[in-house]
Amino acid sequence: MATVTRAVYNLALVGFGNVGKTFVSLLDRKRAELGTRYNLDFLISGIASRKLGWLVNPTGFEPDQVLEGDFSGALKVDSLRSWILASRPDAVFETTSLNPQTGQPAIEHLRCALEFGAHAISANKGPVVHGYEELTTLAKQMHRKFYFESSVMDGAPVFNLFRECLPTIELRGFRGILNSTTNVILERMEQGQSFEDAVRHCQEIGVAESDPSNDIDGWDAAVKVAALATVLMGHPMKPDQVERGGIGEITAEQIAAAHTDGKRYKVVCSAKRDGERLRARVAPELLPLTDPLAQVSGTSSLISFETDVLPELAIHEINPGLDAVAFGLLTDFLRAVKES
DSSP string, 208-237: S-SSTHHHHTTHHHHHHHHHHHHHHSS---
> Which element (helix H / strand E) includes 7?
strand 7-14
Q: What is the per-residue pLDDT for 173?
A: 98
Whether the per-residue pLDDT at 1 is higher than 80: the answer is no
Name every residue whose Cβ is closer than 8 Å to that of residue 222 and which is 6 or more positions away in sequence. Answer: 100, 239, 240, 242, 244, 282
Would you call 201 helix, strand, or coil by DSSP?
Answer: helix
Could you tell me the fold of the domain covering 7-155+322-339? Rossmann fold (3.40.50)
Q: Is 131 annotated as a binding residue?
A: no
- Spatial separation of the C-alpha atoms in residues 236 and 140, rounded to whole Å: 19
Q: Is 125 annotated as a binding residue?
A: yes
Q: Is 209 annotated as a binding residue?
A: yes
Q: What is the per-residue pLDDT for 302?
A: 98
Mean pLDDT of 208-225: 94
Name every residue whose Cβ is closer than 8 Å to that of residue 337 and which is 6 or more positions away in sequence. Answer: 7, 9, 38, 40, 91, 119
Mean pLDDT of 190-195: 95
Instruction: Please state, for a pLDDT cut of 70, what percent of the chain lies above it.
Output: 99
- Spatial separation of the C-alpha atoms in residues 176 and 65, rounded to whole Å: 40
DSSP secondary structure letters along 130-185:
HHHHHHHHHHHHTT--EE-GGGTSTTS-HHHIIIII-TT--EEEEEEE--HHHHHH
Q: Is 140 a catalytic residue?
A: no
Whether the per-residue pLDDT at 285 is higher than 90: the answer is yes
DSSP secondary structure letters along 271-289:
EEEETTEEEEEEEEEEEET
Name every residue whose Cβ is closer than 8 Å to that of residue 116 and which is 6 or more positions away in sequence. Answer: 84, 85, 89
Q: How many other CB atoms sit within 10 Å of the CB of residue 285?
A: 17
Q: What is the per-residue pLDDT for 66?
A: 97
Report residue 210's pLDDT band, with 50, 70 and 90 as the boundaries: confident
Q: Is 15 annotated as a binding residue?
A: yes
Closest CA to 177 of 274, 262, 328, 283: 283
Strand blocks (E) in 39-127: 40-49, 53-61, 75-77, 91-94, 119-122
- Spatial separation of the C-alpha atoms in residues 309 and 199, rounded to whole Å: 41
Residues 266, 303 contacting (CB under 8 angstroms): no
Q: What is the per-residue pLDDT for 267?
A: 98
Whether the per-residue pLDDT at 2 is higher than 70: the answer is no
Q: Is 57 annotated as a binding residue?
A: no
Whether the per-residue pLDDT at 297 is higher than 70: the answer is yes
- Spatial separation of the C-alpha atoms in residues 190 and 265, rounded to whole Å: 9
Mean pLDDT of 96-117: 97
- Among the listed residues 21, 145, 224, 263, the single catalytic one is 224
Residues 137, 145 contacting (CB under 8 angstroms): no
Q: Give pTM, 2 decimals.
A: 0.94
Report residue 4's pLDDT band, with 50, 70 and 90 as the boundaries: low
- Spatial separation of the C-alpha atoms in residues 158 and 303, rounded to whole Å: 9
DSSP secondary structure letters along 102-130:
T-TTHHHHHHHHHHHT-EEEES-SHHHHH
pLDDT tens per residue across span 138-162: 999 999 999 999 999 998 999 999 9
Residues 57, 65 contacting (CB under 8 angstroms): no
Q: Mean pLDDT, the chain, as a whole number?
A: 96
**CA R_g for the chain:** 21
Q: What is the per-residue pLDDT for 303?
A: 98
pLDDT tens per residue across span 52-87: 999 999 999 999 999 999 999 999 999 999 999 999
Q: What is the per-residue pLDDT for 5?
A: 82
Measure CA 153 to chain center.
6
pLDDT tens per residue across span 18-33: 999 999 999 999 999 9
Q: What is the per-residue pLDDT for 206?
A: 84
Q: Domain coordinates of the chain in residue numbers?
A: 7-155+322-339, 163-317
Q: Using the 8-state DSSP alphabet, how is residue 292 labeled?
A: G
Q: Is 275 annotated as a binding residue?
A: no
Architecture field, domain 163-317: 2-Layer Sandwich (3.30)
